DNA sequence: GCAATGACTGGAG
DNA sequence: CCTCCAGCCATTG
């Protein structure tokens, strides 16, 4: 087994483990990976997803403000919001309502 | 290999 | 809660 994977691959692993109806932040994922300062890399990794065969629920990943920063990278600017609403997450003005309640740390659902 | 880029973050106003 | 500035770091050209 490989202990260390590519940063992007690690992001995909965590994001794919996000429970439905919950959201997390880029910083939280980066911190879990050990590179807290690389929150931007998490976003960059997810952006590449649109050009990758991998199906990751990237719509559950938002920035620290709970804003759907990456909605523009989706097939349609509203696709991300629609998906979140389908999962029971309410979106208001491109931001997650009760974000702090829906927010879950990767370490919390990844567990051990 | 160097330079530019970015779905970010924290601090300050 | 919102806006602006500067730092970070892996990927890409």
Q: Is the CB of A46 under 7 A from strand B?
A: yes
According to DSSP, residue A103 is labeled B
- Asked if the model's pLDDT at residue A111 lies above 80, the reply is no
> Could you report the per-residue pLDDT of A23-66, keeping only the tens digit for each?
999 999 999 998 888 999 999 999 999 888 888 999 999 999 99
The arithmetic mean of pLDDT across residues A83-100, rounded, is 93
Residues A39 and A52 sit within 8 Å (Cβ to Cβ):
no
- The predicted structure's pLDDT at residue A80: 94
Query: Which residues lie below 8 Å from residue A20, measured CB to CB, with a gap of 6+?
Result: A57, A87
> Nearest protein residue to B5's C1' (by CA)?
A44
Give, in Å, how far the C1' of C3 lies from the CA of A71: 21
Tell me the C-alpha distance between A8 and A75, whole Å.
21
Question: Which nucleotide is the nearest neighbour of A15, by CA and C1'?
Answer: B7
């Amino acid at each position: 087994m490989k202990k260390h994977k590519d940063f992007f691959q690690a992001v995909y692993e965590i994001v794919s483990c996000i429970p439905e109806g919950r959201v997390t932040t880029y910083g939280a994922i980066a911190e879990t990976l050990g590179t807290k300062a690389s929150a931007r890399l998490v976003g960059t990794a997810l952006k590449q997803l649109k050009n990758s065969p991998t199906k990751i629920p990237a719509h559950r990943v938002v920035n620290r403000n709970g804003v759907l920063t990456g909605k523009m990278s989706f097939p349609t600017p509203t696709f991300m919001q629609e998906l979140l609403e389908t999962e029971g997450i309410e979106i208001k003005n491109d931001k997650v309502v009760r974000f702090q309640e829906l927010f879950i740390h990767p370490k919390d659902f990844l567990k051990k």
